[in-house]
Every structure is written in C-alpha cells, then in structure tokens.
Amino acid sequence: MDLIGLLKSQFLCHLVFCYVFIASGLIVNTIQLFTLLLWPINKQLFRKINCRLSYCVSSQLVMLLEWWSGTECVIHTDPQAYPKYGKENAIVVLNHKFEIDFLCGWSLAERFGVLGGSKVLAKKELAYVPIIGWMWYFTEMVFCTRKWEQDRKTVSKSLLRLRDYPEKYFFLIHCEGTRFTEKKHQISMQVAQAKGLPSLKYHLLPRTKGFAITVRSLRNVVSAVYDCTLNFRNNENPTLLGVLNGKKYHADLYVRRIPLEEVPEEEDECSAWLHKLYQEKDAFQEEYYRTGTFPETAMVPPRRPWTLINWLFWASLLLYPFFRFLINMISSGSSLTLASFALVFFVASMGVRWMIGVTEIDKGSAYGNIDSKQKRSD
C-alpha cells in the first residue's frame, strides 16, 4: 500500500469526514427549518433554496466516491439519447445489488447537474433520521410504508406535488424493494413461480405498484424512464467502508432511455411491462458476466468540481474550531477532560461504524423472512 493509500485508510481521516458531514448536515437542517417561513409566501423559492441546501449534504457523499475513492463509472448508452440526460425529468429504475449502488445513482445525477433536486422513493422510517432524512423531508422526498393500502393515497399525493417542481430531477426507484442476496433471491423466485412469472437470475422480482403509481402521477411531467443496470468489473464487491478507505472501484452502468409514452397507463399493463423490463435487465447482466461489457457506446461524463469545492468549504469552516477545541482539551491536563475526550472519541468511533453498518447487505430489509403467503399478496 502506498503512502496516500495508507493515509486514506486511517480512522482519523474517517473521523474528519464524519465530523464535517454531521456538523454541516445539522447546520443545513437548521437553515432548512427556517425556510419553512417561505412556503406560504413563495413555494417555488422555498424549493429552489432547499435544492441547493440539499446539495450541500448529498454532494459530500458523492465527493467521497468520485474524489476520495476515485471510483470510475463508465456509462454505456445510445449517443443520441445522451444529450437529453440532465435536460429533462426522468424516472430512474436501478438494480439493487451493491452497497454503494445508491451512491452510483447520486453520482449519475451529479454528473448531469440534477443532484440537488433529485428524488427517491424511500422508506418512511428514513424521514426521522437526522441529516439525510430531515434533508429529504424539506426537499419533498416521497416516503412509503410498504403497506399498499396506506401508501396508495399518501404516495400518490406526494408525487402529484412534484408536478410543478421548478428544478430538473431524477426520480430513483429500486423496484426490487431491497438489496439482492441469495436468500432473498430464492424466496423471490418462489413467489415468481407461484405467480406464473419467468424466473430472474440476477434480480429480485420487481414490486410493480410503486412504479405504476409513479408513472401515472408524473406522466406529462417526466419525459422518460432511464433503465439503469449497474455492475462492477473483475467481480469487485464494493462497500461504503471501501470507499471511505479510498479504494478505487470500476463501475459500468448501462442506461437505456425509454420515452414515457411507451410505458402503459393501466396498472396491469404497466406491471407486465415492468416484469418484461426486468427480464431484459437480466439478459444484459448475463451478457456483462459473459463479455465484461454492456451494449451501446461507452462514455464517461466529466467529473464536476462542485462536490469537492462544497466539501472544502465546509471543512475550512468547521475543522479549525474543532481542532482548536481538541488541543485546548488535551493541553488542559485535567483527568476529567481527558476522560471526556476519550469518551467523545469512542462515541464518534461507534457512530462511524454504525453509519457504515447500516449500508451492509446483510443488515438490509427482512425481505424473505416473512411467509410466502404474505409475499404473494404484494
């Protein structure tokens, strides 16, 4: 390991990233709270301000991927569709197999200049998580309980609010609902067999209701579905801890632009269309494992400097008072002060490990642990 690689793997560096992210995130959340005063006066101004505040937080994670880790993401797509990316609203359907696939989705949005306004269909519990969850609340993210009778009205209402959103956005959906594991795949294919659906080799059975209601609610506002299929070269198994340690990964992302007019409006037809889409995604993954590449032309969108500039701004603002405080604590020589510092360091260490742990595949959804009867009703 070279000197820079050794430096990137040190916990002190991780602690710095964690501190800057948490401190800046709480500052942004506080500012967002005050922007609520704008909502009854100028809703669109409220939205534009919160898009930029959201970027201050989410771009720090993208910075870790693109600048700290140096992970490369090659996009395989139709050259005629490429100029439209970032110039239109789109529903992004991304496979859900890797710990950092959400980061790759954010990186895609960042490179086309729509990260601040981009949306995701997320679990309602995340709305209560400080920093990310609170940030999402102010940017009108769409939350669901995964109980369709409750979500039918609330999700539709949230989506309809986005029809007059002033910023361009990607709306990211993981239709599989949870990350791929062999255990979940086995249960999912049992459900597919019970429903008379074709088996999938590299994906879980997609959950169609959320996708159908998204298409119906955003029709004539969203121009296309971007079918995104992600994989990594040389059988790499990327993790957030690896990114934090500065490990460089090599991603390939196949993006197909499908005009929304080609997606059926009726729920049953839309469901069948999505199942067919996932069969095609499976075929693309099969080709990737066989040939090491996806179809279409390989392109690398330029890495924008704004994520790095944003992080350097927050670091310069927050690190000096932080280190000065630590030096004063240590130089005081008080046993109580040193014990307090050790406790704070330990809590911070546990916090970093917890933030990493919640992204791990084996800490994901309990998909597959419920009985088949309940799954068949999905």
What's the pLDDT tens digit per position in 136-192? 999 999 998 877 778 888 999 999 999 999 999 999 999 998 889 999 999 999 999
Assign residue 73 a region (left: φ > 0; alpha: ψ between -120 and 50; beta: otherwise).
beta
Distance (Å, whole) CA 140 – CA 32: 12
- Each domain of the chain, given as residue ranges in start order, spans 3-306
For residues 161 and 49, give the distance between their C-alpha atoms in angstroms, rounded to a whole number: 17
For residue 372, what pLDDT is reported? 44
Q: How far apart are CA 190 and CA 187, in angstroms?
A: 5
Over residues 42-53, the mean pLDDT reads 97
How many of the other CB atoms lie within 10 Å of CB of 301? 17
DSSP class of residue 176 equals T
Strand 224-232 and strand 90-94: pairing? Answer: parallel
Q: Say if CB 185 and CB 201 are below 8 A apart.
A: no
pLDDT of the residue at 19: 87
Give the tokens for residue 95.
């496979």
In whole angstroms, what separates CA 349 from the centre of its chain? 24
Task: Flag the least confident range among 4-18, 54-68, 102-116, 266-280.
Answer: 4-18
CATH fold for domain 3-306: Glycerol-3-phosphate (1)-acyltransferase (3.40.1130)
Q: Where residue 338 falls among pLDDT bands split at 50, 70, 90? A: low
Determine the pLDDT at residue 11.
Answer: 78
Q: Work out the pLDDT band at 361, boundaries 50, 70, 90.
A: very low
Please tell me the distance from the alpha carbon of residue 313 to that of residue 346, in angstroms, as a whole number.
27
